[in-house]
Amino acid sequence: MNFQFSDNVAALQPSAIREILKFTGMPGVISFAAGNPAPEAFPTETVAQISADLLREDPILAMQYSITEGYPALRNLLKERMTAEKAFCEGKDELIITSGAQQANELTCKVLLNKGDTLICEAPSFIGSINAFKSYGVNLFSIPLESDGMNIEALEEALKTQPNCKIIYVIPNFQNPTGGVMSLEKRKALYELACRYDVVILEDNPYGDLRYDGENVPSIKSMDTENRVVYSGTFSKILAPGFRVGYVSGPAEIISKITVCKQVSDVHSNIWAQAVCERFMRITNMDEYLANLRNIYRRKRDIMLSEMKTSFSKKISYQKPQGGLFIWCTLPDDCDMNAFCKKAVSEYKIALVPGNAFLINESDKTTSFRMNFSTPTDEQLIEGTRILGAMSKEVLGE
């Protein structure tokens, strides 16, 4: 049989950068291309103990059908935590558990946008979200990212001119892929524009707890006097991505529609994992736990940065990220970034992610690439950065 796929799905082309990424798993390759938590960051013994207790005390809870909204005790803990951060308003907002923040972002798009409506995002932005939005046939429009967030003039122009703008999607903290933080001023300006043009903001915050230097910037949700911000979070970066436990909160009406869509998508998220997350939050001193996690990643970031400083050609520019898992590097304008990344992996066995992977149109030009410091071992961080540095000097000069 010859299959004809739906228009939206047929348009989801396999990525051209797969050719580069397929080298990643090959023996001997040092991968700076992942975004996985460090293996040593997993609280394996605590999780094993919690799981054993849970499966002894209440095995049926962990195995039987549960409700779509998620495990009530976990929802309550998250609401409390977010209320303390002024990111949840009892009575106006609701919160449900999702299968990772991926599902939170996908379903927010599904409930709000018709095919052809516009969703505005950052350029570059997280590829998983971009593809989720594409799978609903929406008109994606991206706004150039500056070191302190979206270009606000370009955003206003897009809100004025793009058809049926419904959502502005942003990752304000330690953005993937750039590692940048949106300034307080730009958060305020963004919120004002969303009010003026009557659109929803989807604030995706997977890395918010992973700040290594500087001060936290208030979330956009905390400014949400008009109740138009949807906020997604996850346990993937602070506990275990394999659990697939995320959450989405925001205007109760929107969360109610997301719940209907989640029910038809997977009924509910794995309930064992939800119960493990709840007990983990309840019995752990989360401030201490997160401080320790930040220590692990700060160290790894600094190892990579220190080696970059001594090894890299001075023609590669980058900023020290204040948090998150990534360093965003930019080659000189006249440089062929894809050739650089291809050479790195095929000749030097160092895997990077070419920056065009994070653009709406992969064929658009960029000279940036993304490096990850959370997944490699210390030795791989040093050796890989040194090798890449030597190659960069060979290609670009000192």
Considering only residues 99-158, where is the footprint of its own copies by CB under 8 A?
Answer: 99-100, 102-103, 106, 110-115, 117, 128, 131-132, 134-135
Q: Is residue 284 close enough to count as binding its own copies by CB under 8 A?
A: no
Q: x/- string (CB under 8 A) for its own copies, residues 37-76?
A: x-x--x-x--xx--xx--xx--xxxxxxxx----------
Q: Shortest gap between Cβ of 365 and its own copies (angstroms)?
A: 25
Q: Give the gyration radius of the chain's Cα atoms.
A: 21
Binding part of the chain for its own copies, among 234-242, 278-286, 287-295, 317-325 by CB under 8 A, reads 234-242
Q: Which of 112, 393, 398, 395 is nearest to 251 (CA)?
A: 112
Q: Is residue 165 close enough to count as binding its own copies by CB under 8 A?
A: no
Q: Is residue 192 close enough to count as binding its own copies by CB under 8 A?
A: no
Cα separation, 213 vs 8, in Å, equals 42
Q: Shortest gap between Cβ of 5 and its own copies (angstroms)?
A: 6
Q: How many CA atoms lie within 13 A of 159 on its CB side?
A: 22
Cα separation, 8 vs 312, in Å, equals 42
Q: Is residue 370 close enough to count as binding its own copies by CB under 8 A?
A: no
Binding part of the chain for its own copies, among 270-278, 297-305, 318-326, 352-360 by CB under 8 A, reads 270-278
Burial of 224 (0-12, 13-18, 19+ CB in 10 A): buried
Binding part of the chain for its own copies, among 211-219, 268-276, 277-285, 340-348 by CB under 8 A, reads 268-276
Residues between 320 and 339 with contacts to its own copies, criterion CB under 8 A:
none
Residue 123 forms beta bridges with which residues?
144
* Closest CB to its own copies among residues 128, 148: 128
Cα separation, 205 vs 104, in Å, equals 11
Binding part of the chain for its own copies, among 169-177, 210-218, 247-255, 364-372 by CB under 8 A, reads 247-255
Residues between 1 and 20 with contacts to its own copies, criterion CB under 8 A:
1, 3-9, 12, 14
* Closest CB to its own copies among residues 136, 348: 136
By rule CB under 8 A, what count of residues binds its own copies?
76
* Closest CB to its own copies among residues 372, 392: 372
CB of 330 closer than 8 Å to CB of 394: no
Identify the three-state secondary structure at position 138. Answer: coil
What's the distance, Cα to Cα, between the start and end of the chain in Å? 57
Of these, 206, 251, 321, 355, which contacts its own copies (CB under 8 A)? 251
Q: Shortest gap between Cβ of 65 and its own copies (angstroms)?
A: 5
Helices (H) and strands (E) in the chain, counts: 14, 14
Of these, 126, 174, 191, 243, which contacts its own copies (CB under 8 A)? 243
Cα separation, 283 vs 264, in Å, equals 33
Sheet holding 200-204, edge to edge: 93-98, 246-251, 229-234, 200-204, 165-170, 118-123, 139-146, 149-150
Q: Which of 122, 132, 24 is nearest to 372 (CA)?
A: 24
* Closest CB to its own copies among residues 223, 308: 223
CB of 207 closer than 8 Å to CB of 173: yes
Q: Which of 96, 112, 127 is nearest to 168 (CA)?
A: 112
Binding part of the chain for its own copies, among 202-210, 271-279, 286-294, 332-340 by CB under 8 A, reads 271-279
Q: Is residue 198 close enough to count as binding its own copies by CB under 8 A?
A: yes
Q: Is residue 24 close enough to count as binding its own copies by CB under 8 A?
A: no
CB of 323 closer than 8 Å to CB of 171: no
In 10 A of CB 298, how many CB atoms?
Answer: 17
